[in-house]
Structure 1
Amino acid sequence: MARLRPTVADLLALRGKRQVAKLRVTTLEEAEAAERAGIGMLSVPPALIAEPAFRDAAPTAFAVTGLEYGHYVTAEDYLRAAFLVRQQSSDAVYCAASLATIRRLRDEGIPVVSHVGLIPSHRTWTGGFKAVGKTFETAWQVWQQVKALEEAGAFAAEIEVVPEEVATAISRRTSLFMISMGAGGGCDAQYLFADDVLGAHDGHYPRHAKVYRNFRGEYERLQKERVAAFSEYNADVVNGAFPAPNQLVTIAGDELGRFLKALDAI
């Protein structure tokens, strides 16, 4: 039976039944690979959802387009961007802006995924890139953030780098679809970035990430092969080995003779 693209209602109906895998993808190749792997949710940048080929690559994935904090200012900015990406086949938008902005989006029927715990764009308020919710006071603040998002009309929230026990307790007591990023297995979905899963960079890998492949090593190997191929080509040009006869087109002898004779008559 063919897989169908889930709706918000479908995702909410899965709460407490099974976990959903979510990936951040930035290319059509990653989107297609995620689709073929059966990944249920994708986080995508606006440029990717705008690609006409996106739904060919990922026809059944629930796509959340990131309206990144700081790229937009007013509620109208977010609203215009949200309507655009929805027209381009986005199923929901990510918004870490104010509760008033989230309400405005929800009032127009736009499904919103927001964020609690470690919110990178707001990290200065919680002490930088560090866990949130390790004390009673900070855990209670995360709970209050979740309740505020419920009231504002979000349907889901990423919960990032929060102790598993706290995230699990919150997930059991909220109507939101809770998406764990380093917050344990008691939520409704697990979220990783494709770059981390693929081992595609030589920067910092978060503790909550799991690296499944070594694309960085493959990139380095391919770069060495690229340099070697370019070097061989350069040497062939310098030494006269390129172009060889099999890289050339030919002209019949009589046609060449006529051409050369015409040139000599100039």
Structure 2
Amino acid sequence: MARNRPTVADLRALKGKRQLSKLRVTSLEEAEAAERAGIDLLSVTYALMLDPRFRDAAPTCFAVPGDEYGMMGATSDEILRTAVKLKAASADAVYCSASDRTIRRLADEHIPVCGHVGLIPTHSTWTGGFKAVGKTAETAELVWRQVKALEQAGAFAAEIEVVPAEVASAISRRSSLVLISMGAGAGCDAQYLFAEDVLGLNRGHYPRHAKVYRNLAAEHDRIQQERIAAFKEYAGDIASGAYPAANHVIGVDAGEMRKFEDFLSGQA
């Protein structure tokens, strides 16, 4: 059955009714696969969001461009200008881990904002690095305050990353935000994984909350070996004279060729 792309109002209305699915995708192929698989939400790169082919690949996925600009130290003005461009390119919302003041500015311009609480990778030095946040009452209160600040700033959603499931669930029940879990349990409103983890393409560390469904890294390795073998055969054929063969070149009538050679012989 055909589906329509959800709106912010639709996502809010679904809070507490069913779990939404979210993926981080970085290519048109991944976006198309997510669309055909029925994934609800996509986190995408700026380049992918600005690609005019993106909506052909994923017409009904709710798309939230990521925070590349913010991670480069952009000012509020720059973030706003970028958000306007992304929205014009059919972004449904923008992800922003900048200050509450910046988020409020985006919301004032009617740009839907998804914030971030718990383990925020770009701000992780303040919470002790890449580890769970909320395992003590004090740090759980910090996550709660982060959520309330985003509500007051006008965000409609937030990623909640590596927070104990019980803490995340208790917060989600008391918040109007659409809370998107990254390792924060099923008591939130959506589950979020990176496509590279789902597909088994991540050759480094897999986070605890990741689940691998395929081993495409092995398939990529196999294809790479096939590339190398083909290139070696090609180079070998050149060295042996097997390439190019007669069927790879264009012939010329013998009489015409003699005329051309006669012409060349008369040239200085």
Given the two structures, how large is their TM-score scaled by the length of structure 1?
0.97
Residue 160 of structure 1 deviates from its aligned partner by: 0.3
SS at match of 2:71: coil
Determine whether 1:37 maps to 2:68.
Answer: no
SS at match of 1:206: coil
In 2, are the aligned partners of 1:67 and 1:81 still within 8 Å (CA)? no
In 2, are the aligned partners of 1:198 and 1:211 still within 8 Å (CA)? yes
Counterpart of 1:22 in structure 2 is 22
Determine whether 1:173 maps to 2:177.
Answer: no
Residue 72 of structure 1 deviates from its aligned partner by: 4.2
Residue 95 of structure 1 deviates from its aligned partner by: 0.4
User: CA–CA distance in 2 between the matches of 1:245 and 1:166?
Assistant: 73
User: CA–CA distance in 2 between the matches of 1:72 and 1:20?
Assistant: 31
Higher mean C-alpha displacement, 22-31 vs 72-81: 72-81
User: CA–CA distance in 1 between the matches of 2:178 and 2:61?
Assistant: 16
User: CA–CA distance in 2 between the matches of 1:74 and 1:249?
Assistant: 60
User: CA–CA distance in 2 between the matches of 1:143 and 1:235?
Assistant: 65
User: CA–CA distance in 2 between the matches of 1:223 and 1:66?
Assistant: 30
Amino acid at match of 1:125: W
- Between the two proteins, the alignment pairs up a number of residues equal to 266
Q: Which consecutive residues of structure 2, in runs of 5 or more, have no partner in the other structure? A: none
SS at match of 1:243: coil
User: CA–CA distance in 1 between the matches of 2:101 and 2:266?
Assistant: 84
User: CA–CA distance in 1 between the matches of 2:248 and 2:51?
Assistant: 37
User: CA–CA distance in 2 between the matches of 1:25 and 1:263?
Assistant: 60
Amino acid at match of 2:32: E
User: CA–CA distance in 2 between the matches of 1:81 and 1:172?
Assistant: 33
Residue 218 of structure 1 deviates from its aligned partner by: 1.2
What are the within-5 Å matches in structure 2 for residues 134-145 of structure 1? Answer: 134-145=135-146
Determine whether 1:84 maps to 2:104.
Answer: no
Identity %: 66
User: CA–CA distance in 2 between the matches of 1:43 and 1:109?
Assistant: 20
Counterpart of 2:227 in structure 1 is 226
Q: Which consecutive residues of structure 1, in runs of 5 or more, have no partner in the other structure? A: none
Counterpart of 1:257 in structure 2 is 258
Determine whether 1:123 maps to 2:124.
Answer: yes
Amino acid at match of 1:208: H
SS at match of 1:82: helix
SS at match of 1:73: coil
CA RMSD of aligned residues (A): 1.1
Counterpart of 1:242 in structure 2 is 243
Counterpart of 2:203 in structure 1 is 202
User: CA–CA distance in 2 between the matches of 1:168 and 1:207?
Assistant: 18
